């Protein structure tokens, strides 16, 4: 395959050639308020996909442009994006003025938005973190960076093993993507499995709350998180650009280094980066350390893109390594750490088509080779080895407007996984799985009403091998699941500033290998897990209803939702234990009993209902000063027995106030969570808590180089608290006061 790809790239180069230079475009960018030059403005020449920045005098230039009309997109944190049309050759020097903007109204969301609609036209609730927001929220893991966003909380097993929870959904019901492709790891299978991604790498993070199975498949029944990087560069820098980042944190003696490089030449752009992050055991507010909560991460990426006038071809290779401990009581004689490795190859092609029914063709694919060992901390013996090979591809095409349809997309996708588990503590059999799907998504517009609808058909096949699990023999089995998903979205514009959105989706999820075929002690979860090969497909009917309002002074989004799930797959505690050690004094033999050992948990189909609301209101107090208020709440019950479902976050509330100018920013974030008493059987209630974070930063220039120094104080009051979604809350607390200091050099 690689041979044919190389031939295609070479053919493309010689077929399309290079543009012939004729003129230089030069301009200056000023602040509209004081007419001072703006330094470090990102100036993107849309038609040629080349990018540059303004220098210390606010000046930028693009040399050697052919005659014609072009579009310049100028962006700078804290300012409204400016779009300027120009003609080449240039008659006079270009002067662009940018307006300060405390409320960000220009964010473009790409996840679940194939038509690049304005935020006010989307029928699903979305979140986007980029630029200054990401600079402030960025943390060691993806889940830490997203915690306390509206509707998004964090499931954790220490610091390293954490995963986002959306509206109470987690694990196999939330799909995590990197650049629109599946991560290819095992983080969705268990609380002790971390995500194969470092928190310093995202250029942007986007979240879809609510069913998103239509475009992304069965694991998106509860939502999607998309980590966007520049591993495959989308633009061509005019010179070597990048950054060097170093950071330290006090609560766990953590340090981070990250080197990020981008370079462009002719129609090619190149990317490379390397990062390393080490942390010891974290301290709780009492000063004690949480035993075995360390982690060590390093990895890197390389990528290259070719940018002919008809689109883009890109490929990237990445490597990720993470060694981290699973926290345990300090008096414990048993503790485990995980040694994780993943290599990944990604490919993307975007082709623009003129004079055809199809206007654009997109192909993206990836291959991941994931491996992790679960190792005894004291003996160094490997208990279990997990191996996962994944291959994914998605091909889609947009069509030109026709009849009543303003936009449309059709697509095909497929994924293949080869899953192997080795070792004396293996609790699931080896499995091969194949998923194939086709989908169509259309949009219609009638004056103030936008309609979108789509259908996805998907077939999942699991080939489960024969295995010996906990001294029991399980025969091989082949499982086939066929699903049909659909969605309907409506957005009605009340005015230029307000809109109402409504979305209803029918989404499905096929059972996973661990849900179907587990049988053994799951030490990290302190349980004996039993799968159920008779599980049925989860069937979710989800409804969202919300209100959006935007202007230069404020933005607001309030959403209510309900999800009714037939055949909800629940890991349910039953009144049985499993003892794995001989106890002659108590006369309890090895095996199942009614009082001692690991609690037995069995995967069962239930009827469930999830309902709640979330809101985010961001308003300008005065020039450069803004406040953001976030609230969210979710309840989840067995709709037949009315019993509460486990691991559901409590009501939460946060207030953030931020002052921002070009040279510096500072702010605080007060966060509160209520007590969680709506718990399931054998689940522990948690008390409410109140936390305060402070942050600040400054940016200054030396020539064309920029320097950013940031300070962040988390849990500034050093409050001791236990998060309800923590897997280790029975024996330890969440981290105490943490002071982080970082320096970023941009060139």
Instruction: Show the 3-state SS of 419-480.
Output: EEEECCCCCCCCEEEEEEEEEEEEEEEECCEEEEEEEEEEEEEEEECCEEECCEEECCEEEE
What is the number of other CB atoms lying within 10 angstroms of the CB of residue 14?
7
pTM, rounded to two decimals:
0.90
Positive or negative torsion for Cα 154, 157, 163, 166:
negative
Phi, psi angle pair for 136, to nearest 5°: -80, -45
Residue-by-residue DSSP string for 117-162: --GGG-SSEEEEEEHHHHHHH--SSHHHHHTTBTTEEEEEETTTEE
CATH topology of domain 119-224: Ferric Hydroxamate Uptake Protein; Chain A, domain 1 (2.170.130)
pLDDT in tens, 300-326: 999 999 999 899 999 999 999 999 999
SS3 of residue 309 by DSSP: coil
- Whole-number pLDDT of residue 139: 92
pLDDT in tens, 454-469: 999 999 999 999 998 8
Q: Quick one: residue 171, left, alpha or beta (phi over 0 = left, psi -120 to 50 = alpha)?
A: left
- Whole-number pLDDT of residue 584: 57
Q: Where are the alpha helices (DSSP H) in 479-576?
A: 513-517
The mean per-residue pLDDT over the stretch 5-24 comes to: 50
Contact 149, 433 (CB under 8 A): no
pLDDT in tens, 365-383: 999 999 999 999 999 999 8
Look at the block and give the residue holding tokens 């399980």: 474
Phi, psi angle pair for 146, to nearest 5°: -100, -10
Host H or E run for residue 6: helix 2-16
- Whole-number pLDDT of residue 1: 45
More confident residue, 8 or 251: 251
- Whole-number pLDDT of residue 587: 64
- Tell me which residue of 468, 595, 581 sits closest to 519, measured CA to CA: 468
- Whole-number pLDDT of residue 608: 96
pLDDT in tens, 708-742: 999 999 999 999 999 999 999 999 999 999 999 99
The mean per-residue pLDDT over the stretch 132-161 comes to: 92
Q: Is the pLDDT of residue 13 over 50?
A: no
- Tell me which residue of 177, 432, 223, 152 sits closest to 185, measured CA to CA: 177
Burial environment of residue 585 by CB neighbours within 10 A (0 to 12, 13 to 18, 19 or more):
exposed
Q: Is the pLDDT of residue 598 over 70?
A: yes
Is it true that the peptide bond before 47 is cis, omega within 30 degrees of 0?
no
Phi, psi angle pair for 487, to nearest 5°: -150, 155
Average pLDDT of every residue of the chain: 90
Residue partners of 291: CB distance under 8 A and separation at least 6: 281, 327, 328, 329, 330, 332, 335
Strand intervals (E) in 511-553: 519-522, 527-530, 538-550
- Whole-number pLDDT of residue 105: 61
Host H or E run for residue 683: none
Q: What percent of the chain has pLDDT over 70?
A: 96
- Whole-number pLDDT of residue 19: 46
Range 2-98 has CATH code 3.30.70.1230? no
Residue partners of 597: CB distance under 8 A and separation at least 6: 528, 577, 578, 579, 580, 581, 588
**Rounded Cα gap, residues 729 and 721, in angstroms:** 9
Name the token pair of 32.
Answer: 């509209």
**Rounded Cα gap, residues 719 and 713, in angstroms:** 13
Host H or E run for residue 740: strand 738-746
Contact 318, 343 (CB under 8 A): yes
Strand intervals (E) in 594-714: 598-622, 625-638, 652-660, 664-673, 689-702, 705-714
SS3 of residue 24 by DSSP: strand
How far, in Å, are 401, 408, 442, 445, 606 from residue 404 at the CA level? 8, 11, 10, 8, 41
- Whole-number pLDDT of residue 423: 85
Which CATH number applies to 225-746: 2.60.120.380, 3.40.50.720, 2.40.170.20, 3.60.20.10?
Answer: 2.40.170.20
Q: Is the pLDDT of residue 22 over 70?
A: no
Burial environment of residue 554 by CB neighbours within 10 A (0 to 12, 13 to 18, 19 or more):
middle
pLDDT in tens, 35-68: 888 888 889 998 888 999 888 888 998 888 888 8
Domain ranges (residues) in the chain: 2-98, 119-224, 225-746
Q: Is the pLDDT of residue 333 over 80?
A: no
């Amino acid at each position: 395959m690689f041979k044919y790809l190389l031939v295609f790239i070479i053919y493309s180069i010689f077929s399309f050639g290079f543009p012939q230079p004729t003129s230089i475009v030069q301009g200056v960018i000023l602040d509209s308020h004081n007419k001072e030059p703006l330094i470090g403005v990102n100036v993107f020449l849309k038609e040629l996909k080349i990018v540059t920045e303004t220098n210390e005098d606010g000046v930028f230039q693009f040399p050697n442009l052919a005659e014609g009309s072009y579009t310049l997109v100028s962006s700078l944190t804290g300012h409204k994006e400016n779009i300027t049309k120009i003609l080449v050759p240039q008659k006079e020097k270009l002067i662009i003025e940018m307006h300060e903007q405390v409320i960000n109204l220009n964010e473009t969301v790409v996840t679940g938005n194939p038509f690049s609609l304005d935020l006010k036209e989307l029928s699903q609730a979305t979140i986007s973190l980029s630029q200054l927001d990401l600079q402030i929220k960025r943390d060691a893991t993806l889940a830490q960076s997203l915690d306390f966003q509206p509707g998004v909380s964090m499931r954790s097993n220490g610091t390293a093993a954490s995963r986002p929870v959306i509206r109470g959904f987690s694990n196999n019901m939330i799909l995590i993507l990197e650049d629109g492709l599946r991560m290819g790891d095992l983080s969705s299978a268990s609380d002790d499995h971390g995500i194969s991604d470092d928190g310093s790498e995202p250029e942007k993070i986007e979240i879809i709350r609510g069913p998103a199975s239509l475009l992304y498949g069965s694991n998106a029944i509860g939502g999607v998180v998309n980590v966007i990087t520049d591993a495959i560069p989308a633009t061509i820098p005019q010179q070597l650009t990048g950054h060097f980042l170093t950071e330290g944190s006090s609560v766990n003696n953590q340090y981070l280094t990250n080197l990020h490089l981008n370079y462009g030449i002719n129609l090619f752009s190149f990317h490379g980066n390397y990062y390393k992050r080490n942390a010891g055991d974290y301290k709780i507010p009492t000063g004690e350390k949480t035993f075995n909560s360390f982690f060590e991460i390093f990895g890197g990426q390389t990528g290259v893109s070719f940018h002919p006038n008809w689109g883009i071809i890109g490929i990237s290779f990445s490597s990720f390594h993470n060694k981290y401990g699973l926290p345990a009581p300090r008096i414990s004689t048993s503790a485990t750490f995980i040694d994780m490795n993943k290599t990944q190859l990604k490919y993307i092609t975007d082709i623009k088509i003129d004079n055809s029914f199809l206007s654009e063709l997109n192909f993206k694919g990836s291959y991941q080779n994931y491996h992790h060992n679960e190792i005894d901390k004291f003996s160094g013996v490997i208990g279990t080895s997990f191996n996962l090979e994944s291959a994914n591809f998605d091909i889609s095409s947009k069509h030109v407007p026709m009849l009543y349809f303003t936009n449309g997309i059709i697509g095909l996708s497929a994924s293949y996984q080869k899953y192997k588990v080795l070792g004396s503590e293996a609790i699931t059999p080896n499995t091969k799985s194949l998923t194939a799907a086709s989908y169509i998504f259309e949009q219609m517009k009638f004056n103030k009403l936008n309609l979108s609808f789509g259908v996805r058909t998907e077939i999942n096949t699991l080939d489960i091998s024969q295995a010996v699990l906990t001294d029991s023999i399980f025969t091989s089995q082949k499982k086939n699941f066929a699903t049909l998903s659909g969605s309907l979205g409506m957005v009605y514009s009340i005015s230029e500033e307000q809109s109402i959105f409504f979305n209803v989706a029918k989404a499905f999820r096929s059972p996973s290998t661990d849900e179907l075929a587990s049988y053994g002690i799951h030490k990290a979860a302190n349980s004996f897990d039993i799968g159920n090969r008779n599980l049925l497909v989860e069937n979710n009917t989800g409804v969202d209803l919300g209100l959006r309002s935007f202007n230069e002074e404020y933005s607001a989004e309030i959403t209510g939702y309900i999800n009714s799930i037939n055949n909800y797959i629940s890991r349910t505690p039953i009144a049985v234990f499993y003892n794995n050690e001989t106890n002659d004094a108590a006369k309890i033999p090895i095996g199942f009993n009614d009082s001692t050992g690991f609690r037995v948990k069995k995967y069962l189909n239930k009827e469930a209902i999830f309902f709640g609301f979330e809101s985010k209101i961001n308003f300008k107090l005065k020039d450069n000063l803004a406040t953001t208020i976030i609230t969210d709440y979710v309840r989840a019950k067995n709709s037949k027995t009315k019993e509460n479902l486990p691991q559901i976050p409590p009501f939460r509330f946060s207030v953030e106030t931020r002052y921002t100018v070009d040279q510096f920013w500072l702010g605080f974030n007060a966060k509160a969570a209520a007590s969680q008493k709506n718990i399931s059987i054998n689940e522990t209630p948690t008390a409410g808590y109140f936390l305060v974070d402070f942050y600040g930063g400054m940016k200054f220039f030396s020539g064309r180089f920029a320097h950013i120094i940031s300070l962040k104080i988390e849990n500034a009051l050093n409050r001791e608290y236990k998060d309800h979604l923590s897997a280790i809350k029975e024996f330890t607390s969440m981290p105490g006061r943490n002071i982080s200091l970082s320096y970023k050099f941009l060139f």
